[in-house]
Structure 1
Amino acid sequence: MASIAETRSFFDSFVLADINSGRGDEIIAKLEQPGRFSSAQVDARSKSEIVALAQRVKADVIVNACDPRLNEPIFEAAFEAGCTYLDMAMNLSKPHPTNPYEEVGEPLGKDQISADDRWKEKGLLALVGMGVEPGLSNVFARYASDHLFDTIDEIGVRDGSNLSIDGLDFAPTFSIWTTIEETLNPPIVWEKSRGLYTTDCFSEPEIFHFPAGIGAYECVNVEHEEVLMIPREIDCNRVTFKYSLG
């Protein structure tokens, strides 16, 4: 994020905060134009520490690039400090208390979405789920809806790559804990006639041909935010998210 940010001119200062006090300095040392960057130590589990840091540096925006287990204190700290908020994945779901594999419990991002009114009342903006997926995938879906199609039956987000790292059999580009969480939770599907519902883990396998030389990979249903986010804004009949674990 810092390497991209240093090429942008729309901010005056950029604070890299981490529980490891030296991590930000390591990143800044690798930048070609480090002048606008500084580092700080903060425990993202502590709302009060985040608020204090935001007030000290007079932050306008808090970008949460942490594991979604830390969303709640960062989200609430941004609200208390009066900052715009962005994250890359929404709050974790909670399973149905008695029938978790057949009924939807508290879906991903429920508390964040329900906070919409109080953020609006305070004149603040929170862009949740604004990573690549969810985030960029939602933008692509909206662009397709607005500019490419008159009607849409299904929006299916497919995640797969031919990434390899020597010595590792499987290497996601994000938290391995999150990968385990979303693949072992009951997958969710949305249908206009049925609403949100769960399916079996690794259900509805399909071979998807990814572009740009990536190739054909088997994808299966997993729990993911787009299934909840896209139907809120785009008229369609079905939304699915499938992940390639191969």
Structure 2
Amino acid sequence: MKSNVLIIGAGGVAHVVAHKCAQNNALLGDIHIASRTPGKCQAIIESVHTRGSLQRPGVLRAHALDAMDVAATEALIRATEARIVINVGSAFLNMSVLQACLRTGAAYVDTAIHEEPDRICETPPWYANHEWKRREACAAAGVTAILGAGFDPGVVNAYARLACDDYFDRVDSIDIVDINAGRHDRYFATNFDPEVNFREFTGTVWSWQGRQWTASRMFEYRKEWDLPVVGRQTAYLTGHDELHSLSQHLDVPDIRFWMGFSEHYINVFTVLRNLGMLSEQPVRTAEGQEVVPLKVLKAVLPDPASLAPAYTGKTCIGNVVRGERDGKERRIFIYNICDHEKSYREIGSQAISYTAGVPAAAAALLIARGIWDVRRMVNVEQLPPRPFLALMAGMGLKTWVRENGRDVPLAAQAAPADA
């Protein structure tokens, strides 16, 4: 059994992870939060205390850390005696933090695919370029490394596994649909790290179609979806982390990712891209200073965590799965609805951060209980999905299944005898 958690990062998702770990500290033990800005870590700790999130009295401590420094991260893991490291910092940190976990034997959890600062939209399957190169090392060291344990990637991977195992004899397609039907009071803002957000959408859109990688442009393909609670929504074919693992681990010919964008977002995005403000490559100013336009843009846009107090509306994220069962065609939608205002009332978060942070904390709990402590590197679809989804339902993210116009909570559906 694992105990003591080190959370790396101090943004909106780290805020959620800290609250949810605190609500379960009887099992998880001491909770430590580390980032380059310890003041942000301390603010999260104060929020946990103010909202009474601690399940029982315990250690909750902030630390200064540059997680790109493997030796420093290793030293902090050892000093805190952390047995589970939850990496919810920048995606640039993944390989450094993973290496520190390999040196210490601590379990590793992240919520996004690794990125290199000077490259975007790498050749698929992207995981093979970085994380999967450490598979053998994790297995040799007996280190549990769970990749992409947010919502998308993460929960949608579990939905895909569940559909393949329990609902279909053959799956023909999986369309992951991510809609934020919420509203905030800012002229323009991203719902998570602006640098990461824009990097997702400025390169080639890769999708898995006909059992091969298919390239397209951002906003080239759009589709309307009729969804529970949020109604009819327009979404665009987009590349995303989970496609890079699901395509390799599931026998499904078509796997696509669709994300909703408002016309306002698309207009602002287009202007910024045309001006060169979304570039990850450095430029030199007239004064001789070297700057990265995307980092400058990040510095002037609102902090995503600051959106929470005024956010209203709901998110709807899930998988439209088509295939065959018992010789008949079948179509289901496995999904979650999350409320921005409810998330804020509970822990001071907006729903985008909430949906990413709760699954990461749930993964840590499953490692601590031994259910997901597999002592090797895995993506979420390689793990049993029902314990994960059942745990999250009790932590604030309930799963529903829509079929033939009827919506039923997953918890109300009995698992097959061999599940």
* TM-score (structure 2 length as normaliser): 0.53
How much has 1:192 moved relative to structure 2? Answer: 4.8
1:1-246 mapped onto 2 (5 Å cutoff):
1-8=17-24, 9-31=26-48, 32=52, 33=54, 35-92=58-115, 105=123, 107-110=125-128, 111-172=130-191, 174-193=192-211, 195-212=212-229, 214-246=230-262
Deviations 1:74-101 (A, max 9, x none): 12221122211010001127869xxx9x
CA distance in structure 1 between the partners assigned to 2:19 and 2:125 by the alignment: 34
Asked if 1 retains the 8 angstrom alpha-carbon contact of 2:102 and 2:137, the reply is no
Give the alignment's Cα RMSD to 1 decimal.
Answer: 2.1
The aligned length equals 237
How much has 1:43 moved relative to structure 2? Answer: 0.9
Asked if 2 retains the 8 angstrom alpha-carbon contact of 1:133 and 1:226, the reply is yes
Structure 1 pair 171–209 and aligned structure 2 pair: CA distance change class (3 A): farther
Structure 1 pair 215–26 and aligned structure 2 pair: CA distance change class (3 A): same
Asked if 1 retains the 8 angstrom alpha-carbon contact of 2:203 and 2:217, the reply is no
SS at 2:143 equivalent: coil
Letter of the 2:196 partner, please give it. Answer: T
How much has 1:240 moved relative to structure 2? Answer: 0.7
CA distance in structure 2 between the partners assigned to 1:171 and 1:217 by the alignment: 19
How much has 1:205 moved relative to structure 2? Answer: 1.0
Letter of the 2:193 partner, please give it. Answer: S
| % identity of equivalent residues | 20
SS at 2:58 equivalent: helix
Asked if 1 retains the 8 angstrom alpha-carbon contact of 2:127 and 2:245, the reply is no
The higher relative CO (CA closer than 8 Å, separation ≥ 6) is in: 2
How much has 1:146 moved relative to structure 2? Answer: 1.2
Structure 1 pair 216–177 and aligned structure 2 pair: CA distance change class (3 A): farther
Structure 1 pair 124–192 and aligned structure 2 pair: CA distance change class (3 A): farther
Letter of the 1:24 partner, please give it. Answer: C
CA distance in structure 2 between the partners assigned to 1:18 and 1:95 by the alignment: 23
Deviations 1:9-42 (A, max 9, x none): 3211111111112222222222223623111111
Structure 1 pair 196–124 and aligned structure 2 pair: CA distance change class (3 A): same
Structure 1 pair 170–217 and aligned structure 2 pair: CA distance change class (3 A): farther
How much has 1:106 moved relative to structure 2? Answer: 5.4
How much has 1:231 moved relative to structure 2? Answer: 2.4
Query: Where do 5+ consecutive residues of structure 2 fail to align?
Result: 1-16, 263-419
Deviations 1:101-123 (A, max 9, x none): xxx73543221012111111111
Larger C-alpha radius of gyration, 1 or 2?
2
* TM-score (structure 1 length as normaliser): 0.88
Letter of the 2:201 partner, please give it. Answer: T
CA distance in structure 2 between the partners assigned to 1:49 and 1:109 by the alignment: 25
SS at 1:206 equivalent: strand
Query: Where do 5+ consecutive residues of structure 1 fail to align?
Result: none
Q: Which has more helix, going by share of residues?
A: 2
Letter of the 1:218 partner, please give it. Answer: T
| Structure 1 residue ranges, 4+ long, deviating more than 6 angstroms after superposition | 93-96
Letter of the 1:161 partner, please give it. Answer: N
